[in-house]
Amino acid sequence: MKPRLLIIGATGFVGSNWARAAADAFDVWQGSRRPTDGSQSVVVDITDARSVRAAFDTARPQFVTLLAAMSDIDRAEREREVATAINHQGPIHVADACAASGARLLYTSTDAVFDGEQPPYRETDPPTPCNWYGQTKAMAEQAIAERLPSATIVRLSLVLGRSALPGGNSYLEKVAGNLAAGNDIISPTYEYRNPLDVRTLCHFLLELTQSEQAQGIVHTGAGDKISRYDLARAIAAGLNADERLIVAQQAPVPGRAPRGRDTHLATDRLRQLCQTPVPTCQQVVERALAG
Ligand SMILES: NC(=O)c1ccc[n+]([C@@H]2O[C@H](COP(=O)([O-])OP(=O)(O)OC[C@H]3O[C@@H](n4cnc5c(N)ncnc54)[C@H](OP(=O)(O)O)[C@@H]3O)[C@@H](O)[C@H]2O)c1
């Protein structure tokens, strides 16, 4: 019998892909605030500890992936209380439920826990968030590590791909939609990331979920880095769209939450823990567009 995995945030961009990818190895239960198709779906609001406990009582998971979050960085900056409830209190409720039931937790965090001033970043570097989203995720990491030292905390840079369900926080789909509509896409030339395509990410999630050694923080991403401007141009080229719609942004604009300049996550620990090869940025873009 396959072990039971509860994915919380299964309707989102990463979650909808992970639910499909995990199905060969796990008996997957999908959790989110809106019900999904199929019998193995559970409605859960992570801001409510009782709702989390009820979901655990129904699904009885041995493994849990916590993806649910307010993932919109600018919205989190504007709606700090709601962001704190979802991104900080929510993970505490889930970690408490894992501690009580003995389920093994994998939590997805972000490169936004770093301000981007001293790349590349290793797992041992202290968080230095420069926006509220990064702050809430750093607080969640700490709360999880205190409650559940065996948990895996996977930090993601930008994830590229398409949602397997409508909606979700996919950068690639936003860029593709704007290109198709003929809209300019203002892209910073000075922000560097090491993105990962969602399919390769799911290979890493599979290995990390099943690994006894993958405790604590693990950085993921491509082996090299790329500016947001060059990334948007590479996507436009891959889609045979008009690259002139990608407009270089040379400095931060008012009204947007601050972002780190270069949050490149070093992948040495990922390479030690996983057999899946770490791709280059070029491979990441190709896979994301093919996927
Ligand atoms: N996408 C990226 O490039 C990226 C980069 C770095 C880190 N991450 C991290 O990766 C994770 C997944 O990101 P994503 O891009 O897949 O996000 P997403 O598309 O915005 O999905 C978020 C999911 O969380 C659920 N959710 C939100 N509030 C909830 C609540 N109170 N209770 C239960 N479920 C709730 C949403 O479902 P409903 O609204 O239907 O409930 C949805 O399923 C997040 O933790 C994010 O911080 C993502």
How remote is the CA of residue 117 from the centroid of ligand 1, in Å? Answer: 26
Mean pLDDT calculated for residue range 44-68: 98
Q: Give 265's DSSP letter.
A: B
Q: Name the residue of 6, 17, 18, 32 to mutate for ligand 1: max ligand atoms within 8 A of Cβ.
A: 32
Mean pLDDT calculated for residue range 177-183: 97
Residue 239: the pLDDT is: 97
Does some domain include residue 132? yes
Does some domain include residue 236? no
Catalytic residue check, 133? yes
How remote is the CA of residue 8 from the centroid of ligand 1, in Å? Answer: 9
How remote is the CA of residue 9 from the centroid of ligand 1, in Å? Answer: 6
Closest Cα to atom 7 of ligand 1 = 110
| pLDDT at position 96 over 80 | yes
Does some domain include residue 54? yes
- Using a pLDDT cut of 90, give the percent of the chain over it: 95
* Pocket of ligand 1 from Cβ distances under 6 Å: 9, 11-15, 32-34, 44-47, 67-69, 71, 86, 90, 108, 110, 156, 158-159, 168-169
Distance CA(91)–CA(236), nearest Å, equals 36
With cut-offs at 50, 70 and 90, classify the pLDDT of residue 99: very high
Does some domain include residue 181? no
Residue 255: the pLDDT is: 86
Mean pLDDT calculated for residue range 67-76: 97
- Mean of all residue pLDDT scores within the chain: 97
Q: Which domain holds residue 148?
A: 4-159+196-222+264-279
Does some domain include residue 246? no
* Range in 35-44, 217-226, 228-237 with the lowest mean pLDDT: 35-44
Residue 168: the pLDDT is: 85
* pLDDT, greater one: 265 or 291: 265
Distance CA(56)–CA(191), nearest Å, equals 40
* Range in 123-132, 162-171, 185-194, 270-279 with the lowest mean pLDDT: 162-171
pTM reported for the whole predicted model: 0.98
Among 125, 98, 124, 130, smallest CA distance to 112 is for 130
Does some domain include residue 185? no
Residue 35: the pLDDT is: 81
4-8 sheet: strands from edge to edge: 41-43, 27-32, 4-8, 63-66, 104-110, 152-156, 216-219
Mean pLDDT calculated for residue range 112-118: 98
How remote is the CA of residue 70 from the centroid of ligand 1, in Å? Answer: 6
Beta-carbon contacts of 14 under 8 Å, excluding residues fewer than 6 positions away, are: 67, 108, 156, 159, 168, 198, 201
The domain total for the chain is: 1
Residue 10's domain is classified under what CATH number? 3.40.50.720
Does some domain include residue 214? yes
Does some domain include residue 216? yes
Sort 72 into a burial class: Cβ within 10 Å, 0-12 / 13-18 / 19+. Answer: middle
With cut-offs at 50, 70 and 90, classify the pLDDT of residue 176: very high
Residues 130-146 pLDDT 10s: 999 999 999 999 999 99
